[in-house]
Amino acid sequence: MSVLTSRDRGFTLIEVLIASALVVSVIGGLAQLAAKGVAQSQAARTSGGALELAQGKLEELRASPWSYDPGGGLVSDPALAESPADALSADRDGWCDAADEFGRPLARTDVGRAVYRRRWFVGRFDAADPDTLVLKVCVQSVTSALAASGQPDACVSSVLARKP
């Protein structure tokens, strides 16, 4: 016959406290991991939308007429006029616009609802070569963490050459 002592009947209070502390630590770590995942998902969604807007504007600029006519005259769209040097860092009429959360363009009177600010730069690749342009488009979300720092969420660039 074996005799049960008080130690063999269950868990002590210290063992329960240690187990509880471990469980709380694990749950706290998982909650923090979930919160980071949600934040990263939101950042990816914002960056993806910004990149799509930037690429769309770049393609619009690249599709603008920039060539020679059959008689050798220059053909160029007014959208490809050279922009001010600070067009990517400040709102300049003709080189910026705003979009809502779905990427739809907003009228000038509606910019208070803007989620994205898109700016673009058109300049010469080389001062001596009037037939080659550099196109740069940057989009910044007004709600992203980068907005406070002034950094864009997405930037794309390309070179456009006039072909005879």
* Tens digits of residue pLDDT in 33-79: 999 988 888 777 778 889 999 999 999 999 999 999 888 899 999 99
Measuring CA to CA, which residue among 18, 36, 20, 133 is closest to residue 79?
A: 133
DSSP count for the chain of H helices, then E strands: 1, 6
Give the pLDDT score at 22: 95
The Cα 123–Cα 103 span in angstroms is 26
Q: Is the pLDDT assigned to residue 164 strictly greater than 90?
A: no
Give the pLDDT score at 156: 96
Domain segments of the chain as ranges: 13-161
Q: Is the pLDDT assigned to residue 9 strictly greater than 80?
A: no
Give the pLDDT score at 30: 93
Question: pTM of the predicted model, to two decimals?
Answer: 0.73
Q: Is the pLDDT assigned to residue 5 strictly greater than 70?
A: no
Give the pLDDT score at 110: 78
Measuring CA to CA, which residue among 132, 158, 131 is closest to residue 56?
A: 158
Q: Indicate the SS3 state at residue 31.
A: helix
Q: Is the pLDDT assigned to residue 148 strictly greater than 70?
A: no
Q: Is the pLDDT assigned to residue 31 strictly greater than 70?
A: yes
- What strands lie across the sheet with 116-126, from one edge to the other? 96-99, 116-126, 129-141, 154-161
The Cα 146–Cα 47 span in angstroms is 10
Q: Is the pLDDT assigned to residue 8 strictly greater than 70?
A: no
Instruction: Please give the residue that has the higher pLDDT: either 144 or 27.
Output: 27
